[in-house]
Amino acid sequence: MFRGSGKISELPWHTLQALKFREDKKASSSRDEGMPLFRTYLAICKAYGAVPFIELKTMDAEAVLDEARLYFSDSELVISSARMEHLRLARRLSRTAFLHHIFSDETSIRELADMKPAGCSLNQPDLDAFDPVWVERVHAHGLQLCLRAGDTVDAVLRMAAMGLDYIPTNCVDPPSLRR
């Protein structure tokens, strides 16, 4: 959604190019940076040694993988989606890309267990309310587990202490964790 007024996929390219990043959802100021091309995102990930965490919103996994493979091997990619059909398609196209299901439940966890390497996140925005039994449940299926993005050093350290296997972040870099 774009400011709640429609689907981004329906916006013309010139409108997307005019969008500017905000520092965070609550900030009113924006940086003077427009929407990057997918290949720009991939090049940034490659330059900084970051794992590309690619969320599919449509059935375009083949085109996405073709572009990503210009920068990374399949085993270096994370393909993410809230829809299992996107992940099924991605698995048919790549046996080694890591698949990540967004907001999993018991049913999706069982299905994802047949698509390894894979992991999932739970719809658990409050770290204090997280039930650690989920780590054991997910691991019992041979899957990895994460929660929503760890966007502060404190959140990343807490998630690691909880036994989560990977921690997506929009803000925290390795040097900030070493401080």
Angle 153-29-102 from CA coordinates, rounded to 5°:
50
In this predicted model, what pLDDT tens digit does every residue of 57-100 receive, in sequence order? 999 999 999 999 999 999 999 999 999 999 999 999 999 999 99
What pLDDT does 1 receive? 41
- Please state, for a pLDDT cut of 70, what percent of the chain lies above it: 86
Structural domains present in the chain: 51-177 (3.20.20.190)
What pLDDT does 3 receive? 54
pLDDT band at 22 (very low <50, low <70, confident <90, very high): low
Long-range contact list for 110-116, CB < 8 A, 24+ apart? Answer: 110/141, 111/84, 112/84, 112/87, 112/141, 112/143, 113/141, 113/142, 113/143, 115/87, 115/88, 115/91, 116/142, 116/143
Higher pLDDT, 32 or 106: 106
Tokens for 57?
């919103």
